[in-house]
Structure 1
């Protein structure tokens, strides 16, 4: 598909892109590469100037029925929660989507309870939205999307503005959503987060989009340069370990500092290789 804003340049140009069910996808690219436009096209907020959006192989129509079908399947949560929250209380905000589907009161209550529990904000049910912290507002905005029971949840920079503890809590929430069957797409500039969290990466570059396993995509310097990104810490560490003979050929290196600490200590079950030299040698080689 292609898309251009009124009297502006083409932002999306004959892009061929797919979201694979069950795979956590990180959407990456420089500012102005079209990430936000693509997310709005995928969720029905924009209509392509040319091309077709397919949902389960069937073209999306932009009448009321078609958009309802799309928006009950795909939900977008924007970067700034204040652009999405508008109701007086957390419960009222989360209930908005289900109520507009014409569901029974009992079903709406069930969805509210499920969403609040999933985002760990049940205790905030009656809290006025203007009294929430930034992290709580983020979680409330996501809960409103989760209450629609989407099969695909698209998040625009969901960890922006969160402290490390808030980021870890959000990632744990996303893991639970994935375990329940929701496919999660995250737009981010944080390549370390993408490497740590995602299965696949989609890099928006001038020639289109490159999609593939996250470690493979983010290890390619040509793609990193075109996307205006930097090499993730984990990939740089793995390359250094490999250079010093500490990473067996074909093994997956550590993706986070915590994994490196466990790896150099000979820890098991981290998803990384066991070191071939003594831990102090690994620490010397990585210094």
Structure 2
């Protein structure tokens, strides 16, 4: 892949105090312009990996780099990292704390020491990007779950990161909320933000991601999403099932309805359009 490496762990190891090693000698890259899905069973190290990438944890060995430069864990180094990488945790209630939506979203930019004019511009931009401008003055405790999710993401977006890492962003959302959030993420990607999404949903990963990283006991395995999510050996190690789109593509090819080199369907709509085109019904 020719895309530049924005953030990388090199030979990283980490263990929690009095606990087993979670990450050992890991090499992991996030490349610009690629939507990356991070998948693995519970306890596989997804959360640890995300916190290492965002500076919330420091590797015991190895290093974290941003555009090839090692990250320092002093105030200057972490500020540089957090203007490049932002992590949004799974439960928005672990991230929201201010009285109103606007105040919460403004917290990060204010901590950068920006002018009031610049902070206001960033807040307005982030609220618009997440389609919650009308909620700017709403108390955070009166928000729905989906609105709280969007507010938490807006707080990260207001930092204008080049890499946005999301932990299970669609968990707890109804189908309409999921679709709206995915459309928002597409907009962020179109504006130049690289998005990393941790998820257990292999069908979502196949549909959404350019690349997939499967966390297994033998390490992280990363490559094009369709190819990685067809690897039944790695899926088994990661505690994941085969995406239905991969299984459907195999069936269509066996029936002569899909050329061997053609991409398979990623959504039910794509499957319907494909079978209609092939069968004429």
The normalised TM-score by structure 2 is 0.95
234, 249, 262: which one aligns with 2:245:
234
1:60 aligned residue: 71
Q: Is the 8 A contact 1:33 1:205 kept in 2?
A: yes
How far, CA to CA, are the matches of 2:264 and 2:214 in structure 1? Answer: 22
252, 256, 260: which one aligns with 2:271:
260
Q: Is the 8 A contact 1:2 1:15 kept in 2?
A: yes
How far, CA to CA, are the matches of 1:20 and 1:112 in structure 2? Answer: 27
Say if 2:96 is the partner of 1:85. yes
How far, CA to CA, are the matches of 2:105 and 2:83 in structure 1? Answer: 14
Say if 2:157 is the partner of 1:146. yes
2:228 aligned residue: 217
2:139 aligned residue: 128
- How much has 1:265 moved relative to structure 2? 2.1
1:261 partner SS: helix
1:201 aligned residue: 212
158, 173, 197: which one aligns with 2:184:
173
179, 185, 189: which one aligns with 2:196:
185
Q: Which runs of 5+ in 2 are unaligned?
A: 1-11
Cα distance per residue 1:54-112 (max 9 Å; x no partner): 11000000000000000110000000000000000000000000000000000000000
How far, CA to CA, are the matches of 1:279 and 1:163 in structure 2? Answer: 34
2:134 partner SS: helix
Cα distance per residue 1:12-56 (max 9 Å; x no partner): 011110001000000000000000000000000000000010110
1:192 partner SS: helix
2:213 partner SS: strand
Q: Is the 8 A contact 1:118 1:173 kept in 2?
A: yes
116, 126, 129: which one aligns with 1:105:
116
Cα distance per residue 1:93-152 (max 9 Å; x no partner): 000000000000000000000000000000001000000000000000000000000000
1:51 partner SS: strand
Cα distance per residue 1:233-284 (max 9 Å; x no partner): 1001001111111111201111111111111222xxxxxxxx3xx245xxxx
150, 157, 177: which one aligns with 2:168:
157
Structure with larger Rg: 1
Name whichever structure is richer in strand by fraction.
Answer: 2
Measured on the aligned residues, the alpha-carbon RMSD in Å equals: 0.6
1:37 aligned residue: 48
